[in-house]
Structure 1
């Protein structure tokens, strides 16, 4: 009798460990989905309001789509109420995070843009300390000239000290004039704007307005992270904003270093002041505007929200469903930290990121801008 019943007992008891593992896996998925949703809510409450909220910039923005999709795909591991809880939390997280992801599914079926013959071509680029460490100066200038841009918005017109912690001024104006004859040149701190059209104004923006005339370069560098240049394009004044916002992190120190968080805390207020100065100036400007540069912010960060609400993101005409610009030359450029916006009648007609040819860790921004017809003279 015992020999006959033993196999049945084994057969009846063997699914229990499987069911146990299934329940544990289901609880794990449900817990992860709810935890991700709670994390999104906490991030939303903190980002842009307290300095620690900038930590969201570490996360590749695509994760705000990929994580909830993965959790939804794993939801069948849960059973009963846990399964629906997993699906509900994942679905809500996807809905909340889509705008922070930088993903644009519409780009997959968007027609390739064809800029008009009178479009203004703009190149915006972080030059990586004016090509101090990569390539040669001849390659650097040949690269710039080959873009044939009407307006160049260049950042990091500077060199760095041996420890890469200090910044030094650069004087390359003679070569700039030689390489770009006929272009107007505007310089403020680390920002250089070249324009084939006449420059008619250069109003200070944000904290730069408080910098006295004749201030030393270091003061100008620290306070001037936006260079507005008003140019006359076929009888109409257009304002080009050359932007390089302060970096919010100190990645070389590492996430476990107190210096990393001290840097975040110290940079939060000056960085916010630069953004607010730019936002206020754009809001008061009635000219067509083009705002482009290295914002050191991703789609997941709240820093860009006011600009994205007021202006049009040039990526709205891109055919890339997930545009990225940094870190070029690294393992993978998962982040878009370089942005371009248009408004007040200016509109992006074509926009793409370009290969920096190993001259920088940032891709170039190639932008063609259409302008409203009509004439308008004077300074903004």
Structure 2
């Protein structure tokens, strides 16, 4: 019994020694869960904190009566905001993300006796505005109009104001409803915002970056079996090798893309969900998919070129992709993240791809928003390919030809 126990301790010590010599496994065990804890903690903190900042709002005031103008002036003085001359200017500002939300004051907001009807107020939301911030804006607008209504009631009642207001229930004051809310996607497409329209782009990007698994398997097998050395003797250059693999796995990403789009478009509604709508800007769609695929394949080639075994490549590539996805807003929508974490997510290649892909699927891609992200993805792919080329050329293949 004692001998068996000592053997068990030696085996356990041996396992610990092997584990300590495996930095990739340690990273998966400790670094990845640690980053998840940070991301989820800050995200939940953002959803549970008492104070939610109001989103940056733009205003269009179509009701030019004194009561409406006075109410808007008081609101802007207290909460800030930007006035626009027309609905189109407000829509353009939402698309360019100069504002996160919009408030349209229609000509009929203030009715008889200057009493406001909150249900006629229009609240527009950018596609990525935080739900908590949007809810607070809606609540604040409703409460502000209730205060105006109470002032109107008091003014009309004269010396009996206190009796009238005290005898008016909260339900009566809120009987005129709350502002109607529409997302920019709904305004431009005429359809309701759905979860599938937002989630498919995120998981599409995440899936494309997991091309590291098949690439690592192929490249490491070729290296271990001597295939790369034999190709070098046949005059195959590092340029040709990387170019061929890039083309093959970019095509694989397109097959993957088609599969996921089919799932969102037909399988999800078949199971009772909302259908993915595909009336997107084709040029922007092609550009962002090509840039995303190039970045994903290049990162996978870089990992495969500098790791010795498939297990190391799979652990490093899988763990890195999960971390990049968590930071980018794949697991937790970026709109739920606090501003600080949103800024960090802007440094993730998946974040650049997700920004562009969501803009395409939500119908608001603009050159000022898309080109920087496409450029970052292409630059990232170029750096990864250059480092991969250096490793392959030095270890196995001959000079460029």
Q: TM-score, normalised by structure 2?
A: 0.23
Could you say which structure has the larger radius of gyration? 2
Tell me which protein shows more strand as a share of its residues: 1
Tell me which protein shows more helix as a share of its residues: 2
Q: TM-score, normalised by structure 1?
A: 0.23
